[in-house]
Structure 1
């Protein structure tokens, strides 16, 4: 019986070492796999359109990972540079006029363009603020990303009801790539100090990875606890 504690202790140490190694290796492996997958995805889209006599792989006789991604980045940057001058703006305007007059294509193009302009606009606050709302019922809270104020017809309808509503995005756990678009009264949203990155970590981990508390919140809590 004297050897049992040693065996249990050895098993516990092996288990702890395995979990420690898993915590170290898993993020590195998953991150590397995601980056590698994205590079291959970009290469598979770009490389087929590179003429053979311009493709370095034809001369080196081996694949160059990331070549397609690099060419795509350079190409997009050049398009942006050309689009910023007078002739480029004329070409863009002319192309957009054709797309906007083409049935079926027009709504798709305008919708996609509006999404990219909203997301990439430097001064936009969309999805940069995190909050809490009561969902799916009173007393239960869900993490959301603040999208924007209600606009257009929705704003008119909500004003008729006497409510100031904001749009929030409610992502699922553990893969927050899809979710629900909800319109919630502004006073019902609890704004949080955590960054969108910390909120994403919290969602992906299923609540296991919690962001650190901001200093001002710690001070406010200490003042509240100090009150008689």
Structure 2
């Protein structure tokens, strides 16, 4: 009887290991598609699928969002489009409250998405949350201005310490560069290591299989 129970338990765990990643992947995709589908509300009511065809079309918002992004990119590539975008940006940067949010978000996005930027290009080991512990972090830049002046002499770097298993939340800290250790692994591999809570270690056979 004990052997049967252990076998059933093993089958249950094996099934869970197969279906859990699939279920989470489908849930994330459903969340993304559902969010992007809200862009349909940008269309006039008469042009929405429920008005034209009498029913909703799942995923149409994804196509619309992709078309808007692609069209904006093409528009920004020519002189006339660039002037229109500059005019729109001028309006946003002159509007109270809006300009604060827009300028902050634009500066972050320019830094993260720029090919010349150094944000999230390097995985590190840093001492966190105390001097006797180490964790994975990602270099986001270097302090400047008043922050750099207040820190005094020495080389400091800005790093982002993600939480586990959700790396979209975390901590921004500034540490001496000499107190960090640069890792010889890609950012993707380091993120995998964080999300798996250290189970999928970079360089192991399991991590190679899951790439």
Q: Distance in 2 between matches of 1:123 and 1:28?
A: 36
Q: Residue 216 of structure 1 aligns with which residue?
A: none
Structure 2 unmatched runs, 5+? 205-211
CA apart distance, 1:163: 1.2
Q: 1:42 to 1:169 in 2, by over 3 A?
A: same
Match of 2:187 among 189, 193, 196: 196
CA apart distance, 1:52: 4.7
Q: Larger radius of gyration, structure 1 or 2? A: 1
Q: 1:58 to 1:99 in 2, by over 3 A?
A: closer
CA apart distance, 1:171: 1.4
SS of equivalent residue, structure 1 residue 28: helix
Count of residue pairs brought into register by the alignment: 205
TM-score (norm: length of structure 2): 0.88
- In the alignment, is residue 10 of structure 1 matched against residue 4 of structure 2? yes
1:29-87 superposed Cα distances (whole Å, 9 cap, x missing partner): 1101110111011112x122223554445454443211011111101211121122111
When the two chains are superposed, the root-mean-square deviation of aligned CA atoms in Å is 2.0
- In the alignment, is residue 99 of structure 1 matched against residue 101 of structure 2? no
SS of equivalent residue, structure 2 residue 26: helix
TM-score (norm: length of structure 1): 0.82
Q: Residue 124 of structure 2 aligns with which residue?
A: 131
Q: Residue 13 of structure 2 aligns with which residue?
A: 19
SS of equivalent residue, structure 1 residue 170: strand
Match of 1:185 among 170, 176, 180: 176
